[in-house]
Amino acid sequence: MPGIKITGLRATPVNIPLEKPMWWTGGHYPGTSKTIIEVETDQGIVGLGEAPSVDVVDSVRAMGERLIGADPLDIAGCESLCVPPWQIVQNTDDSSVVKAFGAIEIALWDLRGKVANEPLYRLLGGAVRKEIPFTEYFGFREGGEMSPEAVADYCIRMREEHGSTIFEGKLILGNPELEIDTVKALREGLGREAMIRLDSNMQWSLPTAMRVFREIEPYNIRNYEDPVATFEEMAELRRHFTIPISTHVPDIRKAVALGAPDYIVTNFAVLGGISRAVRFIGACEAMGVGFWCYSGDAGIATAGYLHMSAAMPWISEPSQSLFRWQIGDVIEGGPFRQKNNVISVPEGPGLGVTLDRDALAYWHNHLIQNGPLDHFHDPAMPGRFRRLPLN
């Protein structure tokens, strides 16, 4: 479509609550707040993007002003209008500009697919798989599972009702014995074949993490995410234990230099968008560092995960998901729900998803009325923030 130009950009902050709050290292996790992006063009085609937070709304809107009149298919040109020198903003300035443009860049790829009338995975080279695996999630939830037996029973029910055999979860109440007991209950209840991954959000000190790893290593833990706060501590854990370790911190150089963590788990907007995520994952592959996608989205970013996982052979492990716990998102037919561990990649042009305007308005209004969802509230410490490690 020759001569297509950007005519405007809309950034709409929304809340995406979970059915029950989950405990994580920062306190209660009631859900997430995202920014939905619509890049409009003079041809009537709209590209959809999603930022992983709402703190970038003003930056996204300012970038939208800069992009008016630009060619949305010239992604490098659009980036040069929005992002100062990459190394500076990544390391010595404010990296939120990367996240803001990364969310817009996802929308530009959606536009590119719609112009070409091709799904994103085909623009990325074609699908090596079309059934994309995601984990179920477990944890300690207010009004829900608050004991090892209850967590195990929940996972067994997910297996019976949805064919799920891949599980990841947070066992975060600052009590190592509780985590150890829950791992034992999970393995006993789910049997040898189920995949169990853990995510600690850096709750443990190194001595406590070593104690936990020693106790749970016999239970065939597929991966443990951010058990401690630094790569140096992760490397020390890997010296003593065989449990693979992942992190949300996307520092390939340090991971390779230290030999840990084994996997990086993140959001494409955090990396600067689809184009930079492709290069990042390629670097992971070249250096033997694994990669998968994180959880808690409004449907648009999830569609991006599906297409990238379809097209990138290196993303072989299941990505995280909170799908079962989400009570809504902003796409028609959402939220995604896995069956027998997988979700099919959307086959429509671009990201292959359509914005549900009623849902967008509803969850935007939820944010206006309630404010962004607070991830750092601890009912036992009102008005104060937790400190790490928890133990």
The pLDDT profile of the chain, 391 residues, written as one tens digit per residue, is: 568 999 999 999 999 999 999 999 999 999 999 999 999 999 999 999 999 999 999 999 999 999 999 999 999 999 999 999 877 877 766 778 999 999 999 999 999 999 999 999 999 999 999 999 999 999 999 899 999 999 999 999 999 999 999 999 999 999 999 999 999 999 999 999 999 999 999 999 999 999 999 999 999 999 999 999 999 999 999 999 999 999 999 999 999 999 999 999 999 999 999 999 999 999 999 999 999 999 889 999 999 999 999 999 999 999 999 999 999 999 999 999 999 999 999 999 999 999 999 999 999 999 999 999 999 999 989 999 999 999 9
Instruction: Look up residue 220 and give its amino acid.
Output: N
Distance CA 368, CA 15 (A): 9
- Token look-up 């995975």 returns 121
Quote the pLDDT of residue 1.
Answer: 53
Q: Three-class SS of residue 338?
A: coil
Quote the pLDDT of residue 92.
Answer: 63
Reduced 3-state DSSP string for 147-178: CHHHHHHHHHHHHHHHCCCEEEEECCCCCHHH
Distance CA 275, CA 31 (A): 28
Overall pTM surpassing 0.85 (yes/no)? yes
Could you count the other beta carbons within 10 Å of the beta carbon of residue 211?
A: 16
Q: Under a CB-based contact definition with an 8 Å cutoff, are residues 199 and 169 in contact?
A: yes
Pairing of strands 342-344, 131-133: antiparallel
Within the chain, residue ranges assigned H as helices are 57-67, 75-82, 86-91, 96-116, 120-123, 148-162, 176-190, 206-216, 231-240, 252-258, 268-271, 274-287, 300-311, 357-370
